[in-house]
Amino acid sequence: MDPQEEVIGTFLQIALALNRAVGEQKGIEPLLSTATYTYSAPTPSWGWEEIGRKVEEVEASLEVLPPQRAAYVRDLLQAFALMVREGMGEQIPYAQRVATYLQVPGERVPRATIQALEEELRRLLVEAGYPDDLAVAIPQWREKQTVQGQALMDLAHTFLERARQETERRIMPLPPGHQVVLSFPQNYPYRGYSDYARDYQGRVFLNGDIGWEVPSLKHVLCHEAFPGHQTYSALREWCYREGRLPVEATLYFSNTPITPVVEGMAEIGQEVLGLVETVDDRIYEAYNRFSSAISTNLAFDCNADGMDKETAITRLMETTYVSRTFAEKRYHFWTHPLWCTGFPHYWYGRELMRECYARMKEKNRLPEFFRMVYTEPHTVRSLREAVQSSLSQGE
């Protein structure tokens, strides 16, 4: 067997074995791309120790791969090695797990950053005619912006089609035949969710039981569909089928340094498409970053410092002015056995991609940036390096 194929084959077996082992331990499988790709390697029945040995074996053999490919695999192996340690029962600090899994700072968002976001939000609300007390202004704003029922469904389809058109115009063509079906299930556990299968077929679910603020609806559709998860998944599949993407780049594995790139791009999708157009859009963008920063810090409070459930829920309600139902769902998200260490990828992924996008836009390098994000394998580290390399070439 070709040495490169042998190394990549073992690497894929590690991913499949970890998917099974972590899934059994955490209650949900972390490899989210198995619905799209059928991997030729069978899932081994390796235990934690054997998976750990295989990680070391592949890491020691990476010199057979081209440098960029080897670096990408190494980044994932570092996350896999920590999963093995955690799976074997080692008690690893939350901050260390976040930093190693995601390649982002294992720390809270600085208080000064949150205060600046709060002031920006207050300023925008006052400019729009609301009181300068956020506890009063935000509920008033929500009530004025809320749409539901048939009006919600009609508006969602309008936003979805517009986002698709702007994605093809500003980013790149989508695969022929790419379909996204929008539905509004009742008694749905999530607010919004993207489900991509294969053959360019996707679904986006929006909770049909609740009212949606119009700017929030636009943001979520950009996040879940265009240019977010549906776009990323469809372009990935297209590139792989055409032989432009190596097989290891098809993995979308939770708690790895891939996810801040993907979630971050989805979070800035509305801005990238030029759809932050009104003062209400800007209010929502400011509120989204503000509440995300607070939620990220509460995730650290709960997972690193043991803050109790009621304190965390109350604090989220008092600082972001959400309902108890919403706060409880968010608490269960950031304390979930699997998602707890992935939750910071929203804040840190958004900030990463905002920075990279702004730098590449300033130098008129957006086509190259979009090619990096959607058609190349990247982790947080490798994307930063690719952006810096691109910008250095123009100096």
Chain segment 349-379, per-residue pLDDT in tens: 999 999 999 999 999 999 999 999 999 999 9
Q: 212 — phi, psi (to 5°)?
A: -120, 135
Q: Does the pLDDT at position 172 exceed 70?
A: yes
Could you tell me if 87 and 153 lie in one domain?
no
Could you tell me if 190 and 259 lie in one domain?
yes
pLDDT of residue 186: 87
Of the candidates 64, 92, 120, which is a domain's last residue? 92
Q: Does the pLDDT at position 24 exceed 80?
A: yes
Could you tell me if 204 and 150 lie in one domain?
yes
Q: Residue 22's closest CA among 395, 338, 286, 328?
A: 338
Is 168 within a domain?
yes
Is 103 within a domain?
no
Could you tell me if 263 and 384 lie in one domain?
yes
pLDDT of residue 87: 97
Could you tell me if 65 and 130 lie in one domain?
no
Q: Which domain holds residue 74?
A: 3-92
Could you tell me if 190 and 264 lie in one domain?
yes
Could you tell me if 299 and 163 lie in one domain?
yes
Could you tell me if 261 and 355 lie in one domain?
yes
Q: Does the pLDDT at position 206 exceed 90?
A: yes
pLDDT of residue 209: 81
Is 236 within a domain?
yes
pLDDT of residue 267: 98
Between the alpha carbon of residue 98 and those of residues 268, 309, 353, the distances in Å are: 22, 21, 18
Could you tell me if 73 and 143 lie in one domain?
no
pLDDT of residue 188: 85
pLDDT of residue 41: 78
pLDDT of residue 394: 62
Tokens of 142: 């929500």
Are 102 and 380 contacting, i.e. CB atoms less than 8 angstroms apart? yes
Q: Does the pLDDT at position 95 exceed 90?
A: yes
Proportion of the chain above pLDDT 90, given as a percent: 94
Mean of per-residue pLDDT scores for the chain = 96
Are 172 and 234 contacting, i.e. CB atoms less than 8 angstroms apart? no
Q: 194 — phi, psi (to 5°)?
A: -105, 130
Of the candidates 60, 92, 124, which is a domain's last residue? 92
Could you tell me if 245 and 155 lie in one domain?
yes
| Interatomic CA distance for residues 121 and 134, integer angstroms | 8
| Interatomic CA distance for residues 245 and 248, integer angstroms | 8
Is 380 within a domain?
yes
| Interatomic CA distance for residues 357 and 339, integer angstroms | 26
Q: 140 — phi, psi (to 5°)?
A: -65, -45
Is 106 within a domain?
no
Is 216 within a domain?
yes
Could you tell me if 76 and 133 lie in one domain?
no
Could you tell me if 82 and 119 lie in one domain?
no
Is 320 within a domain?
yes
Instruction: Give the number of domains in the chain.
Output: 2
Is 101 within a domain?
no
